[in-house]
Amino acid sequence: MTARDAAGVFDRGTGHEQVVFCHDEPTGLKAIIAIYSTALGPALGGTRFYPYASENDALEDVLNLSKGMAYKAALAGLDLGGGKAVIIGDPTQLKTEALLRAYGRFVESLHGRYYTACDVGTFSEDMDHIARECSYVTGRTVAHGGAGDSSVLTAYGVFQGMRAAAEVTWGAPTLHGRTVGVAGVGKVGRHLVTHLVDDGADVVITDVDPAAVARVQGEHPDVREVATAADLVATELDVYAPCALGGALDDEVVATLSAKIVCGAANNQLAHEGIEKTLQDRGILYAPDYMVNAGGLIQVADELEGFSFERAKQRAEKIFDTTKRVFALAGDEGVPPAAAADRLAERRMTEVGRLRGIWLG
Ligand SMILES: NC(=O)c1ccc[n+]([C@@H]2O[C@H](COP(=O)([O-])OP(=O)(O)OC[C@H]3O[C@@H](n4cnc5c(N)ncnc54)[C@H](O)[C@@H]3O)[C@@H](O)[C@H]2O)c1
């Protein structure tokens, strides 16, 4: 990366508090830690280990992801700021104990301004290695006091958001008798299907991995399958739940969808700016992704207090109320729910963050 790219962090006007470049030549560690905000508490966000095409791509990603985490934590009512880290390289080639521990020392050097966790390319076992050099690690293995797989509460939170959207749309907080399409039945999607089936929904799924489909149909024989996400979008649906990759809602999808609600776990569902308005214009109620998929963050945040599944579940259940608040604000202020969610998150960062200015003597 040239000095000019790095200086670009300021020119881009991203509003980040701190961006740290970490390099340990013998292990090949090249990492960037970005702290967007600590207004509500220490910045928490996972470490993505990914073979970025360029260091500039890695910087772009970590800046966007860390900002997203600040909004997600704020809207989830957590006393956490937003941060994220990326390690540049192919984890299958580069990941070693020494590299992870070197990375841990850099995280430690921030003295708790940033807490790390798992993300794409990093796992609870990796967090255990990092924690050998660093106190600011969550998402650890159960053997080390960690909370384990976060997809259970992520799916639960998405289901709460969907119930809230159903109440706003049809007057009752249930998916009973509704047709729900779930695109991607991996860790989160699969648990979501169980909630939906238990609630009496008619569920249609798709996944590029036949084993994932077979597993769900093994548990729930009545769940139907269609071949592709495009086929699912074209199916007569009441609710569409993108639970695979980002960018699921583009112009073509929004133009095709018959669903009245979109509510799913995937991050960054809106393919481009303005698509939230297109959804609104088509009368489709969009439950903002980072609001409804906060269950995983709630879980790793709870681990910092000594994990209690019940307490974390109660917090994830509040996604129901938050979703209703966001839809109400969207109605009051005449903006799409995605904009209303951002406004609520920003308000909390400003109003609660401001309290740090009260001198405690
Ligand atoms: N796991 C969590 O706790 C969590 C928390 C917040 C957000 N998310 C987001 O939710 C989404 C799903 O996460 P996950 O943990 O279940 O991941 P996962 O990898 O376990 O599942 C994703 C599934 O989507 C399938 N898939 C990929 N491309 C597809 C396509 N084009 N069409 C249909 N299916 C496709 C995969 O085969 C896989 O089964 C991701 O966007 C993730 O970032 C996950």
In this prediction, residue 214 carries a pLDDT of 98
Q: Is 266 in the pocket of ligand 1 (CB under 6 A)?
A: yes
pLDDT value of residue 62: 96
Cβ–ligand 1 distance for 208 under 6 Å, the answer yes
Residue 84 is among the residues annotated as catalytic for this protein = yes
Query: Which one of the listed residues 67, 72, 84, 95 is annotated catalytic?
Result: 84
Pairing of strands 114-118, 224-225: unpaired
**Cα–Cα distance list, 62 to 200, 240, 263 (Å):** 40, 29, 25
Query: Which run of H or of E encompasses 83?
Result: strand 81-88
Cβ of 269 below 6 Å from ligand 1: no
The answer to whether the CB of 229 is under 6 A from ligand 1 is yes
Task: State pTM to two decimals.
Answer: 0.92
Question: What is the residue with the minimal CA distance to atom 3 of ligand 1?
Answer: 151
Q: Measured between alpha carbons, how far is 279 from 11 in angstroms, rounded to an integer?
A: 32
Question: What is the pLDDT at residue 21?
Answer: 98
Give residue-wise pLDDT tens across range 181-229.
999 999 999 999 999 999 999 999 999 999 999 999 999 999 999 999 9
Question: Which domains can be identified in the chain, with CATH numbers?
Answer: 3-69+80-144 (3.40.50.10860), 151-339 (3.40.50.720)
What's residue 149's pLDDT?
84
Residue whose Cα lies nearest atom 33 of ligand 1: it is: 207
Q: Are 81 and 66 in contact (CB under 8 A)?
A: no
pLDDT tens-digit series, residues 113-129: 999 999 989 999 999 99
Residue ranges in the chain whose pLDDT is less than 70: 1-13
> Hey, which of 182, 228, 231, 245 would you mutate to test ligand 1's pocket, going by the most ligand atoms within 8 Å of its Cβ?
245
DSSP string, 204-216: EEE-S-HHHHHHH
Helix 309-317 / helix 295-303 crossing angle, nearest 10 deg: 150
CA of 128 to the centre of ligand 1 (A): 24
For residues 330 and 149, what is the distance between their CA atoms, to the nearest angstrom? 33
Alpha-carbon span 78 to 72, nearest angstrom: 9
Determine the pLDDT at residue 11: 63
